[in-house]
Structure 1
Amino acid sequence: MDDFIAARSQMALSLGFHIVFSCVGMVMPFMMAIAHYKYLKTEKEIYKGLTKAWSKGVAILFATGAVSGTMLSFELGLLFPKFMEHAGPIFGMPFSLEGTAFFIEAIALGFFLYGWEKFNKWFHWICGVIVGISGLSSGILVVAANAWMNSPSGFDYINGEYLNIDPIKAMFNAAWFSQALHMTIAAFCATGFAVAGLHAYLILKNKNIEFHKKAFKISATMAVIAALLMPLSGDISAKDVAKRQPIKLAAMEAHFKTEESAPFILGGIVDQKNEKVNYAIKIPGVLSFLVHSDFNKEVKGLNEFPRDEWPPVSIVHYAFQIMITFGMLMMGIAIVYLFAKFFKKEWMEKKWMFRLFVCATPFGYIALEAGWTVTEVGRQPWIIYGVMRTIDAVTPMPGIQYSFYIFTAVFVSLSIILVFLMNRQIQMVAKLYDPNDPDYNPKKY
């Protein structure tokens, strides 16, 4: 493994690991706040127990995310120093504000965890809401920084120098809204399905059914709403990419030749050498419609761009297909759930309904990881789109592969510890809130 591939692999691993905890930090506090609100309005101990259970899970995942996020920020400067040297002064503002949001989130979470019976009940609830708002803000600010890499603005690039820097314009670049919207909805969808799937599994195992049904209802509702909104944000995002990064869109669809009434490609095996996709299902005109809202409009193909600016077409196309596939599966489950809720209420208690959500537990995060692969790999060979190539930004220091191996070991260790802690937490909740258990005492938790 050469140093360039090692540097990219390390960043990919770090980002792929951290994004899970970022999404949890953006979403779980809102579930926690909903359960807490229900407790305050109904005074039912089961909602208090659910709030405490979720808040402790948030604390564990927050700590893990803080570690991986800190590592990620250091890696960016160490692995790509040329990038940070020039880009830091331009897009540093969202990173600085993200740090502020992170500290507010940490303080509010501390107040919430240790504020039971000590604060005014509504102030205590507001602390939980602030955790959610701060986590959501952190995610959006980081996405704004990433969006700048896809749509650089707020500076003039003259003779190799970055002049007339405007950090506000850089932060609110042309891509930030579409990326932030799509990422936010994806986070709610992924986390909602993951949490709903976990509680559905425990319901099927007859583990304190009432407790887990309350949790399932909150998380499943959030997941279903987000899943139905995903195609809308995806359409906005795709149209934005088509306008700003037509080469990325062409790679997503493995669309090699410019043509009118361009087909939307489903599946297939990419043959980049011969510039075709084998065994694919092609739906005529649909890609033209998705890009231009016109079935007959022309869509640029990869043949319009220099070969040395093509991203790895196979990776981008397969990742896009994975994202679309799992997104459609989640939308299908959401439609079934809503149909059951309004027209077939007896389905809501059927085991097959809970099994659907158990199967869907990882769907959102698979789609999320695939989506970020499309975003990051689809921008290659640029680290700053159209301005700086990734290979020109990487550190000249040798031995990066050893750093990659060390960081991989750290992330594997963190994953093992996390699984152990979360498993213990789930078992503790199941035990303390199971009325059939001899140690049942919800006020003890």
Structure 2
Amino acid sequence: MDDLLAARLQMAVSLGWHIVFACIGMTMPVLMAFSEWKWLQTNKQVYIDVAKAWSKGVAIFFAVGAVSGTVLSFELGLLFPGFMRHAGPIIGMPFSWEGTAFFVEAIALGVFLYGWNRLNKWVHWLSGVVVGISGVMSGVFVVSANAWMNSPAGFTWENGKAVNIDPVAAMFNDAWLSQALHMTLAAFVATSFAVAGVHAYLLIKNRKNAFHRTAVKIALSFGAVTAFLQPISGDFSAKDIAERQPAKLATLEALYKTSKPADLVIGGIPNDEEERVDYAIHVPGFLSFLAHGDFDVEVIGLDQFPKAERPPVLITHIAFQLMVGIGFLLAFAGLLFIVLSVWRKHLLSEKWWLLFIACLTPLGFIAVEAGWTVTEVGRQPWIIYGVMKTKDAVSSMPGLQYSFYVISTVYLLLTLILIWLMRRQIETVETHYPSARNTNE
């Protein structure tokens, strides 16, 4: 294993592991605060029980996510010093704001966790709102830095150096809005359906359990709305990528030849040697419409780029298809939930429905991982798109594969510990919260 591959794999493992906690950190505090707000409105015990139970999960994931996020920040400088040497002064602002949001979130979470029965009810709820807002903003700031890597702005590149630096322009680059919107919605979709799935599975054992029934309803309400909005933000992102990164669009759609009009490819296995997609379904002209809003417009293919500057097609295309497929499945599940809630509410307690929701538990996070694969692998071979290649930014220190092995082992152990902690938390629900024991509500 060469050092470039080892460095990229380590970042992939670290980012892939941390992104789960980032999504949970953006979403769970909002669900938690919403449940407490419902308690303040109705004074029903079940809402405060759900809020308290979720707050403990938020604390666990926040602690572990803080560790993995800190590791990531160090890895970026240690594994890719060439990148940080040039990018640090340009995108330092979103990272500093992310740090500020993180500390605000930590303080507010401490107030929320230790403020039960010590603060005014509305003040306590407000601390939860601050946790939710700062969690979302923390994610947005990090995504802004990543968006800059896809759409560099705020500097002039002269003689291999960045000059005329404008940190504000860099932070609010052309890609930040579409990526931040898409990532925020993805976080809510993935986390909401995962939470609903866990509670749905527990509800199967006792379908009159008020605690799990309420938790499923709250989580699915957020998941349904965001899942319905996600394809719209995806279309916004696709049109943005078509303008800024035509090579990435051609890669994720496996469009080897520039076409006018261009077919939308569904499924299939890219064949790089013969530059075609086997076993795929082609929808005539639809890629032209999705990319540019016109069924007859030309879409640039990979044939317009040197082979050395083409992203890996197979992994990017499959990851994109997986992301889109799961996205539409969850949007369908969300729409079905809304329809049943209005016209067939009794079906939401049926075993088949609960099993369906339980089976969706991991899919949102799989889609998130696939989406980040599209974002990162689809940008290759560039670490700063069109400016610096990844191979030119990697550390010259030998033996990076050993660091990769150690980090992977540590994350595996942390995963096992986290699973044990969450199982323990779930098992204590029925003994700690009155509504979880009340089967007649």
Contact 1:258 1:299 in 2 (8 A): yes
- Once the two structures are TM-superposed, the CA of residue 208 in structure 1 deviates from its matched residue by 6.8
Distance 1:137 1:243 in 2: 27
Residue 194 of structure 2 aligns with which residue? 194
How many residues are aligned here? 438
Residue 370 of structure 1 aligns with which residue? 370
AA aligned to 2:251 is A
Residue 242 of structure 2 aligns with which residue? 242
Residue 380 of structure 1 aligns with which residue? 380
Distance 1:114 1:44 in 2: 21
Residue 91 of structure 2 aligns with which residue? 91
**SS of 1:261's equivalent?**
coil
User: Is 1:35–2:40 an aligned residue pair?
Assistant: no
What is the correspondence of 1:103-114 to structure 2 with a 5 Å cutoff?
103-114=103-114
Residue 282 of structure 2 aligns with which residue? 282
Contact 1:36 1:51 in 2 (8 A): yes
Distance 1:171 1:121 in 2: 37
Contact 1:195 1:361 in 2 (8 A): yes
Residue 318 of structure 1 aligns with which residue? 318
Distance 2:199 2:367 in 1: 21
Residue 402 of structure 1 aligns with which residue? 402
Contact 2:45 2:435 in 1 (8 A): no
Distance 1:434 1:55 in 2: 16
Q: Cα 1:66–1:33, aligned 2, differ >3 Å: closer, same or farther?
A: same
User: Is 1:19–2:25 an aligned residue pair?
Assistant: no
Residue 66 of structure 2 aligns with which residue? 66
Contact 2:211 2:436 in 1 (8 A): no
Contact 2:203 2:213 in 1 (8 A): yes
User: Is 1:126–2:123 an aligned residue pair?
Assistant: no
Q: Cα 1:335–1:396, aligned 2, differ >3 Å: closer, same or farther?
A: same
Contact 2:210 2:436 in 1 (8 A): no
Residue 251 of structure 1 aligns with which residue? 251
- Once the two structures are TM-superposed, the CA of residue 117 in structure 1 deviates from its matched residue by 1.1
AA aligned to 1:210 is A
AA aligned to 1:157 is W
Residue 303 of structure 1 aligns with which residue? 303
Unaligned runs of 5+ in 2: none
Distance 1:435 1:199 in 2: 14
Contact 1:208 1:435 in 2 (8 A): no
Quick check: 325-334 or 425-434, which moved more?
A: 425-434
Contact 2:196 2:357 in 1 (8 A): yes
**SS of 2:254's equivalent?**
coil
Distance 1:201 1:431 in 2: 18
Quick check: 156-165 or 369-378, which moved more?
A: 156-165
Distance 2:435 2:268 in 1: 52
Contact 1:208 1:434 in 2 (8 A): no
**SS of 1:266's equivalent?**
strand
- Once the two structures are TM-superposed, the CA of residue 345 in structure 1 deviates from its matched residue by 2.4
**SS of 2:66's equivalent?**
helix
What is the correspondence of 1:75-224 to structure 2 with a 5 Å cutoff?
75-206=75-206, 209-224=209-224
Residue 227 of structure 1 aligns with which residue? 227
Quick check: 345-354 or 290-299, which moved more?
A: 345-354
Contact 1:101 1:135 in 2 (8 A): yes
User: Is 1:425–2:425 an aligned residue pair?
Assistant: yes
User: Is 1:262–2:262 an aligned residue pair?
Assistant: yes
Distance 2:432 2:307 in 1: 61
Residue 351 of structure 2 aligns with which residue? 351
Distance 1:135 1:435 in 2: 28
Contact 2:210 2:435 in 1 (8 A): no
AA aligned to 1:14 is S
**SS of 1:416's equivalent?**
helix
Q: Cα 1:133–1:228, aligned 2, differ >3 Å: closer, same or farther?
A: same
**SS of 1:154's equivalent?**
coil
* Residue-by-residue CA offset, 1:314-370 (whole Å, 9 max, x unaligned): 110000011011111111111211221222223222211111110111111011100
Distance 2:110 2:346 in 1: 42
Aligned alpha-carbon RMSD (Å):
1.2
AA aligned to 2:230 is M
Distance 2:430 2:371 in 1: 34
- Once the two structures are TM-superposed, the CA of residue 291 in structure 1 deviates from its matched residue by 0.8
Unaligned runs of 5+ in 1: 441-445
Q: Percent identity among equivalent residues?
A: 59
- Once the two structures are TM-superposed, the CA of residue 435 in structure 1 deviates from its matched residue by 6.8
**SS of 2:229's equivalent?**
helix
Q: Cα 1:154–1:46, aligned 2, differ >3 Å: closer, same or farther?
A: same
Q: How high is the TM-score relative to the length of structure 2?
A: 0.98
**SS of 1:259's equivalent?**
coil
Q: How high is the TM-score relative to the length of structure 1?
A: 0.97
